[in-house]
Amino acid sequence: MKKLFTAFVLLLPAAAVLAGGPKPLPDSELAAVRGADGISFAVDLNLNRQPDNGLGDSRLTIGQKVDERMTYIVVRNIGGRIQMVGLNISPQTAADGTNYVALTLPAYTRFTDTGFDSISVQADPRGPVSGNLGRVSINGEITMQGQLRLWSH
């Protein structure tokens, strides 16, 4: 027991130094602190892609009741791959004092079979797809520059 107490007492000076409270940072050290602007993102989204390239059955359904009859918009197998590099979010202050969030648009985006397999309108959201209106896909690359700036008013 005594040993434990002794060990603790020996540690106390160290703790006291740490607990001495915040100290002002001299200007010279402060000048060396490098402020980074916001957060950058890289995204690789793979959505509803089957490992064997087979077809799944993932459905986004929106149900609407008009004239007391329920109808569903069914979008089947929304998915594909989206790779994005160079997305950045940072808080900024403009010269006129406006505080805003700057969303730097992704410098590079690649779409691989991004889209959906079918869109249909039907009374039974879980039944077989009937009245298919077609399929939409996006493939290829996009480069972007610029910012989307958001602020409150």
Partner 1 sequence: MRRARVLLLPLTFVSGYACALEPLSDSALAKIGGRDGMSFNLSNFAMAGNAVLRYHTPDGRGSIGIGNLSASRSDNVDAPFADPYRLDVISRGPGKAEIVNIAMPQNVLGREAWQFAFDFDVADNGIVVNGGSVILKDLVYYGGGLQWSTPATGDGLAFGLSTRMEIGSLALQPNGRGAAGEAMVLSNVRIGAANEDGSAPVAPWRLADVSAQAGIFNARTDEAGNSRLHIGINWPEAGAAAAAGTMQIGNISFRSDAGGTAAPNVDLGSSRIGSIQLQYLDIKFRP
One symbol per residue from 30 to 59: x for binding partner 1 (CB under 8 A), - otherwise; what is it?
------------------------------
- How crowded is residue 74: how many other Cβ atoms within 10 Å of its Cβ? 22
Q: Which long-range contacts (CB under 8 A, 24 or more apart) does 8-13 make?
A: none
Cβ 58 to partner 1 shortest distance, Å: 18
Asked if residue 76 lies in contact with residue 89, where contact means CB atoms within 8 angstroms, the answer is no
Asked if residue 71 lies in contact with residue 63, where contact means CB atoms within 8 angstroms, the answer is yes
Rounded to 5 degrees, φ, ψ at 27 are -55, -35
Q: Is 126 in the site for partner 1 (CB under 8 A)?
A: no
Which of 17, 32, 39, 66 binds partner 1 (CB under 8 A)? It is 66
Query: Three-class SS of residue 28?
Result: helix
What is the distance between the terminal CA atoms of the chain, rounded to a whole angstrom? 64
Which of 38, 49, 58, 73 binds partner 1 (CB under 8 A)? It is 73
Q: Is 76 exposed, middle or buried (0-12, 13-18, 19+ CB in 10 A)?
A: buried
Nearer to partner 1, 28 or 145 (CB): 145
Q: Is 12 in the site for partner 1 (CB under 8 A)?
A: yes
Total site size for partner 1, rule CB under 8 A = 56
Query: Which parts of 75-104 interact with partner 1 (CB under 8 A)?
Result: 94, 96, 98, 100, 102
Residues that bind partner 1 (CB under 8 A): 1, 4-5, 8, 12, 15, 19, 21, 62-67, 69-73, 94, 96, 98, 100, 102, 105, 109, 111, 118-123, 131-153
